[in-house]
Amino acid sequence: SQTIHQWPATLVQPVGSPLSLECTVEGTSNPNLYWYRQAAGRGLQLLFYSIGIDQISSEVPQNLSASRPQDRQFILSSKKLLLSDSGFYLCAWSVGSPTDTQYFGPGTRLTVL
């Protein structure tokens, strides 16, 4: 069966520091991968999605970037964090047909101070 891992689970970082969040999927090949952010008490905002290695689309222009160094690994990065980057970051995967249902990881709670 497929599983998705995210780490770290929680992170507290000072403003201006770098960021690296990692997401790994097991048990499937060539997944679509997604990064979402959820601000406190709000819905999900899609940040990036990838349909393959070196194929990453950005949905929201900001100081975040994403990379996919391996087929089942998706990394969210920042060179300098802002206070507004605080939130709950969720990674998800899907495999296309027939319903292309997205399955989510446990999330990373990021606090920028």
Q: Under the rule (CB under 8 A), what is the footprint of another protein?
A: 32, 34, 42-44, 46, 49, 51, 59, 88, 90, 92, 94, 96, 99-107, 109
User: 94 CB contacts (<8 Å, ≥6 apart)?
Assistant: 31, 32, 34, 100, 101, 102, 103
Q: Do the Cβ atoms of 72 and 5 come closer than 8 Å?
A: no
The nearer residue to another protein, 1 or 99, going by C-beta atoms, is 99
CB of 2 to another protein, least distance (A): 12
The nearer residue to another protein, 14 or 40, going by C-beta atoms, is 40
